[in-house]
């Protein structure tokens, strides 16, 4: 099975959520900072795309907590 780029990004966001939960945003920021220092523009770009998906996941989890 071949994943689209969007599916890959969602998979990464889900992995971060599963492994880091509330600390996921910090983990992502750490990755962006590390890759920026390494001048890896592609890596920085990828993680920045993950940020929005992770935010959507967290918003969904937060709204589920109100039940």
Over residues 12-54, the pLDDT tens digits come to: 999 999 999 999 999 999 999 999 999 999 999 999 999 999 9
Residue 39 backbone class (left: φ over 0; alpha: ψ -120 to 50; beta: rest): left
pLDDT over 90 at 64, yes or no: no
Which secondary-structure segment (H or E) carries 59?
A: helix 41-64
Q: Answer yes or no: pTM beyond 0.85.
A: no
């Amino acid at each position: 099975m071949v994943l689209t780029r969007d599916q890959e990004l969602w998979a990464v966001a889900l992995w971060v959520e599963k492994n880091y939960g509330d600390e996921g945003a910090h983990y992502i920021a750490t990755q962006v900072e590390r890759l920026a220092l390494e001048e890896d523009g592609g890596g920085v770009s990828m993680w920045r795309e993950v940020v929005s998906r992770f935010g959507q996941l967290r918003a969904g989890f937060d709204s589920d907590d109100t039940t």
